[in-house]
Amino acid sequence: MNTQDVNRRIRLVMDLRNKGITDAKILGAMERIPRDEFVPKAVKDQAWDDMALPIGRGQTISQPYVVAAMTQALQISDMDKVLEIGTGCGYQTAILAKLCRRVYTIERHEILLERAEKMFEALKLRNITAIAADGMKGWPTIHGIDQAPFDKIIVTAAAREKPPQELLDQIKVGGAMIIPVGPSGDQSLKLYKKESEEAYSVKDLMPVRFVPLLPDIAKDEEENGAAA
């Protein structure tokens, strides 16, 4: 790591702290996980700035502040089993992997998932299980084994009207889910807490901009924006 790289990392952490991220473990993970290695070459120079960037297949890596704020709102503990919907390039997954016991992550674009898995391997993050599937249906039963319910669920694509029922069902009682909800241009980040099998509390955290949560595995010809 050269001096410029170190300085960029420190600047980002200071920026996040100024914006209200106080959890030292989250700041430490954001300083250590090499965000520049998760993004395409063309945008590497901007990887340590607090902005969203394109990652191919029309998708984006979230702004570092949003990654940190979502993680902080979930109050992740090192005992937590976490489900993530929308692996994308795997950056948020890597941050979670540093903070919790195990991350289960689902991505509908197989090519993005393959690249993300290479990053987990390169960074020796061994507590991640990643699959290509439709995350709106929750984590599937695999070889007769259920992983649900989860202590925490994080969805990094926006539900148009309300969270998928399957995801609400997979939150452990006492657990929480964070998910952007709303149409493009009018989304709000919401924190659902499962108080009992039937009752949830909902809190609006902030306005956000996410790509939409879409059904089914992506088709090869699917193209919804910039390619990289």
Residues 105-144 that bind ligand SAH (CB under 6 A): 106-109, 112, 134-136
- β-sheet bridge partners, residue 194: 200
214 scored as a contact of ligand SAH (CB under 6 A): yes
Interface with ligand SAH (CB under 6 A), residue from 85, 125, 130, 208: 85
86 scored as a contact of ligand SAH (CB under 6 A): yes
Give dist(CA 155, CA 177) in Å, integer.
8
Angle in degrees, CA 174, 192, 148, rounded to 5:
55
List the structure tokens of 84: 């993530």
Give dist(CA 179, CA 136) in Å, integer.
12
Among 62, 77, 188, 201, the one annotated catalytic: 62
62 in active site: yes
List the structure tokens of 23: 């959890």
Count of positions on this chain that bind ligand SAH (CB under 6 A):
25
The residue among 71, 60, 59 whose CA lies nearest residue 24 is 71
CB of 57 to ligand SAH, least distance (A): 7
- For ligand SAH, the closer of residues 112 and 176 by Cβ is 112
92 scored as a contact of ligand SAH (CB under 6 A): yes
| Active-site residue list | 62
